[in-house]
Amino acid sequence: MAKQKKEAFSDFGLGEKSSSEGFRALNKDGSFNIEKTNIPFFERLNFFHSLVTMKWSHFFGFIILGYFIVNFLFATIYTIIGVENLTGTQGMTPFEEFMEAFFFSAQTITTLGYGRVAPLGLPANIVAATESLLGLLFFALATGLLYGRFSKPISKIRYSDKAVIAPYHDINGFMFRLINPQKNELLDVEVNVSVSMKRENSELRDFHILDLEREKVRFFPSMWTIVHPIDKNSPLYKLSEDDYHKKDFEFIAMLKAFDESSGQMVYSRSSYKPKEVEWGQKFVYAGQRANGKTLIDVSKINESRDAELN
């Protein structure tokens, strides 16, 4: 069983070959520092994923742009058919006639229809009916995407910018901190930490799961210091700071928890490279009691002091 477990975790899907010194597979914000190239255009298209994950400003910009493009196209069709097939138009110049057709298109696609302008004749009615159908589908899609963005569970777990090698009991430990700065409650929080390192005289990499002082907590209202004891069973045992750089270490942290607000699981991840690990430092306590409450100063998540290593 032990052998099978070791083989199962020999690679995390991040690649065993080390491409360059200082390369990190996982960015600080949790995104993967891996880009796929030479993929056919239609094979890499994923509109739903793009629209649900893009920035809010880009999302609304896309919706507004699509709205204007669709109305522009239908206004052009109405103009080609002839605005005389739209009753109640008052435009005198080609531009005014086009704008009449544009605003009629906007009323039709939203099924608003003020009644002043109406289609006349078979061609204009066919275009108006088609546009009404497309409008229903367009706004249903936009509503679904908007709901998908709001309902998608988002974890904004904040990780300390640095990790530390600090004294831990009679040995030392690898430590970093994390906190949930939002008010939503996370339950059954589980963290696992792994380390990726170059093999001796090789460009290939090994991956190791690190044993933690505590891997799970039931509740997560405070700041949590994640501790890996560097004992005889640790892959970090008897390694120096220079070894961390020579082996091009990358510590990868992954968190999963149940979000009480959304009723869904949330996930978060981050990583640390050797330059982000400070030796002989210990995190300071970020809490204090006041007015019968425990106050956690989130701004102190990176604050540490000198500590003599064992």
Q: Mind listing the pLDDT tens digit for each residue in 276-303?
A: 999 999 999 888 888 888 888 889 999 9
- Classify domain 41-151 by CATH number: 1.10.287.70
Please state the pTM of the whole predicted model: 0.70
Structure tokens at 1: 């069983």
Give the class (CATH, top level) of 154-306: mainly beta
pLDDT tens column, 186-209: 999 999 999 998 888 777 888 899
Structure tokens at 213: 């002082």
Q: What is the mean pLDDT of residues 29-44?
A: 72
Mean predicted lDDT score pLDDT of the chain: 85
Task: Report yes or no: 267 and 186 within 8 Å, Cβ to Cβ.
Answer: no
pLDDT score recorded for residue 202: 76
Amino acid making up residue 208 = H
Tell me the domain boundaries of the chain.
41-151, 154-306
pLDDT tens column, 51-87: 887 888 999 999 999 999 999 999 999 899 888 888 8
Could you tell me what percent of the chain has a pLDDT over 90?
41
Q: Considering only residues 41 and 88, tell me which one the structure prediction assigns the higher pLDDT.
A: 88
C-alpha count within 13 angstroms, C-beta hemisphere, residue 28: 11
CA angle 241, 247, 253 (to 5 degrees): 80
pLDDT score of 260 more than 80: yes
Q: Considering only residues 134 and 21, tell me which one the structure prediction assigns the higher pLDDT.
A: 134
pLDDT score of 7 more than 60: no
pLDDT score recorded for residue 249: 92
What DSSP line would sit under 30-94, residue for residue?
A: S-BS----S--HHHH--HHHHHHHS-HHHHHHHHHHHHHHHHHHHHHHHHHH-GGGEET----SH
Report the alpha-carbon distance of residue 132 to residue 155 in Å, rounded: 39
Asked whether the domain spanning 154-306 has the same topology as the one spanning 41-151, the reply is no
pLDDT score recorded for residue 6: 43
pLDDT score recorded for residue 172: 95
The band of 251, judged by pLDDT with boundaries at 50, 70 and 90, is very high
Task: Report yes or no: 88 and 114 within 8 Å, Cβ to Cβ.
Answer: no
